Amino acid sequence: MREKSNTIKQEKHTNSIIYDDNSSARACSILTQHGAIDTPVFMPVGTLGTVKGLSQEQLSHPVGAQIMLGNTYHLYLRPGKEILKHAGGIHQFISWSKPILTDSGGYQVYSLADRRKIDEHGVQFKSHIDGSTHVFTPENAVCIQRKIGADIMMAFDECTPYPVSHKEAQLSMDRTHRWLDRGLKKFKESTPCYGYPQIFAPIVQGSVYSDLRKSSAEFISQKNAPINAIGGLSVGEPIDLMYQMTQEVCDILPKNKPRYLMGVGTPLNILECISLGIDMFDCVMPTRNGRNGMLFTIDGVINIKNQKWKSDFSQIDTNAYSTVGSQYTKAYLRHLFSVNELLGKQIASIHNLSFYIWLTNQARKKIIDGSFVAWKNRISKNLDKRL
């Protein structure tokens, strides 16, 4: 373990970065008005201002989340930016005092392929709620996120599907870069609504093409943003390509700025990408899969709906990261799922998020004490195993 504070420029949004000697893994703290975020970090997804099925109190404890995500597209439609502004911003509206990150709506627009039209100006789309027509541009995506009041806001980008041709990926990437310049200009011209600074983060695109990813990473690096994100992965491409693109981008992005890999992934994906130099992660998998009976543990993956757990009165998980795992038995949790009791989904979600956050917290400790690679190699063997 070595601390490179003597060679890394001190940034107002981050403290010095600690590197692992045997990989590209790093640890730092991102400084926001609502608290510091210690990395590596997993950020639970709170699409509509809530992590589905959990209270903010549960998200704070026992889960231990440092930060949560909000979804600009969904919050724009409901409750609406004016309601959020009247409430005093997203933190006041949802009673969450810790940092919040909002995406720009780009990924949701991508997912509305049959409901949207993209041109140079922006994206026109129809609401999935009532079919009403709306327009997102790089500029109003900034204005909306100003009114939401997130600590970290994302640039409006275009996310390509997989597979996509090289030509289409390049056209999309170039448009994302032009949109970034427009969004950055609007960000610099506008001011926060609630008296605290916000961070604006650009997004690297380029699908699975090395030349495009490198070009995009170089373009984004020139913007000198406090945080840089990597988008357009975890959209169906093979895992080895995701790792390859991540590594190639991390080799180019500034080493003294946190890196956020959007929408990734499984526990094993997260550990591998930490070793490549990623600092921030988000994914719906721990809560979405949890609501469907899938539990992530250090020993492997449990499908609690399986018959084999019906008479298993052992604890869900005896490891220290899960208070609910040591409180309830597998047989009881399976019973809750078999009768469609909401408590079962809540327990599984709390357990999974606790595990993800424990995993990134442990990664930070191992990076700092110099044992990250050995630890990662040891626990990775079982993470994807079906129990």
Indicate the residue type of 100. I
**CA-based nearest residue to 149, from 100, 185, 108:** 100
Indicate the residue type of 343. L
d(CA 337, CA 335): 5
Query: In the numeric block, which tokens belong to residue 223?
Result: 């913007």
Phi, psi of 50 (to 5 degrees): -155, 140
d(CA 79, CA 137): 20
Long-range contacts of 20-24 (CB under 8 A, 24+ apart): 20/275, 20/366, 20/367, 20/370, 20/372, 20/373, 21/370, 22/372, 22/373, 23/275, 23/276, 23/372, 23/373, 24/247, 24/250, 24/275, 24/276, 24/277
| Cβ neighbours for 365, distance < 8 A, ≥ 6 positions apart | none
Yes or no: say if 221 and 259 are a contact pair by the CB < 8 Å rule: no
Query: In the numeric block, which tokens belong to residue 298?
Result: 């250090």
Q: Which helix (H) or strand (E) holds 83?
A: helix 81-87
Q: Torsion over CA of 320, 39, 277 and 8, rounded to 10 degrees?
A: -140
Yes or no: say if 297 and 324 are a contact pair by the CB < 8 Å rule: no
Yes or no: say if 259 and 275 are a contact pair by the CB < 8 Å rule: no
Indicate the residue type of 68. M
d(CA 295, CA 297): 7
Catalytic one among 151, 157, 279, 282?
A: 282
Asked about 103 being catalytic, the answer comes back as yes
Active site residues: 103, 282
